[in-house]
Amino acid sequence: MRRKRMPINLDQIPSFEEHGNGFDQHSVLVEEIEGLIRVYGNGYVERPQIVPSVSNALPPELGVTSWDVVVDKLNNIWARFYIPTQCQEKLPLLVYFHGGGFCVGSATWSCYHEFLAKLSAKADCIIMSVNYRLAPENPLPAPYEDGLKTLQWLKQVAFNGAKQNWWSRYCDFTKIYLGGDSAGGNIAFNVAARLGGKTTASGAVVMKPLVIKGNILIQPFFGGESRTMSEKFLVQPPHSPLTTAVSDTYWRLALPSRANRDHPWCNPSANGVFEVEDLRVLPSLICISEMDILKDRNLEFCSALHRVGKLINYVVYEGVGHAFQVLNKSQLSQTRTLEMMDHIKDFLSV
């Protein structure tokens, strides 16, 4: 039975004096995903260092330069850039949001640092990996707001030209894409839905001087109160990064208080969201994993967009599960990751 997310009344938590010297309010555990996050009754959040955080250094042989920039100091939004070292012409820019159920993850995680550096080299593009605010301290729509602030920051950079940011000489601001994996895919989709500006005949959005051309959604994290077949019956290997129980916990922590999994931020297929005439959906590449519990939901998402005439293309990667491109080092996963990079490169070149 699904546990309801109930508001926490701190007045009901016994005080230190009531329990003696051995009592610690942190011991009142409200939510936990083993090894990733613990949330306590007094609002304290622990995130064990399950994935190493790394600097922006990269091996020279990779042919990619990386550095970090501050986007919004007040909200601690920053980004890690990747650009091919031998860049001689203007390149498309992929604004990328990492996964982690909105609750964990970082642009400093070694798995993202490695994946995005290789993607920059393989797809010949500049990548801006955004470090956004996390739930439950900052529930939805905070990450969507952070994505919009990032685009506003890019607008200012584009207006200033190369005066303050040398890399902007090599960035084609008329070829900007929003992307991400898992929760990051959800963020990219919802940021696109909130974009201002005019829409071109090709579906791109003009935010002068920026042109946002498309979405790259890798295993986008959506849910719903009714289970899909893959959520109910697809058996996951031990230590899978996403099970139905883990998914439910992420949504309880990320959604607004008292919202359920049919909230449009979780389930855009519910309540006729896709039938809204002015729903802004960019031309999209949607990457789906065959062994992912999100497979059926991602396919339903594609079908819903297709029915309302949105320009989408999707690929199903056989034999691999959720987040294989960043968390699985098997030979099959590496092969599928290279295939994904090729598909992304083709999409960026349109």
> Per residue in 57-82, pLDDT tens?
999 999 999 999 999 999 999 999 99
Residue 3 has pLDDT above 60, yes or no: no
What distance in Å separates the CA atoms of residue 185 and residue 190, rounded to the nearest whole number? Answer: 9
Q: What is the full DSSP assignment across 48-96?
A: ---S-B--S---GGG-EEEEEEEEETTTTEEEEEEEETT--S-EEEEEE
Q: Does residue 88 or residue 16 have the better pLDDT?
A: 88
Return the active site residues. 182, 292, 322
Q: What is the mean pLDDT of residues 180-201?
A: 95
State the pLDDT confidence band at 32, using cuts at 50, 70 and 90.
Answer: very high
- Of 52 and 271, the structure prediction assigns the larger pLDDT to 52
Model confidence at 14: pLDDT above 50 = no
Residue 17 has pLDDT above 60, yes or no: no
Lowest-pLDDT choice from 33-42, 43-52, 106-115, 273-282: 273-282
For the residues 293-316, what does the mean pLDDT come to? 93
For residue 163, what pLDDT is reported? Answer: 63
pTM (predicted TM-score): 0.91
Q: Which of 173-187, 210-224, 295-309 has the lowest mean pLDDT?
A: 295-309
Separation in Å, CA 323 to CA 178, 180, 244, 304, 349: 18, 11, 15, 23, 24
d(CA 153, CA 120): 21
Question: Omega before 52 cis (within 30°)?
Answer: no
Residue scoring higher pLDDT (2 or 141) = 141
The predicted-structure confidence for 139-178, as pLDDT tens digits, reads as follows: 999 999 999 999 999 999 998 876 667 788 899 999 999 9
CA distance 256 to 139: 6
Domains of the chain and CATH, by start: 52-349 (3.40.50.1820)
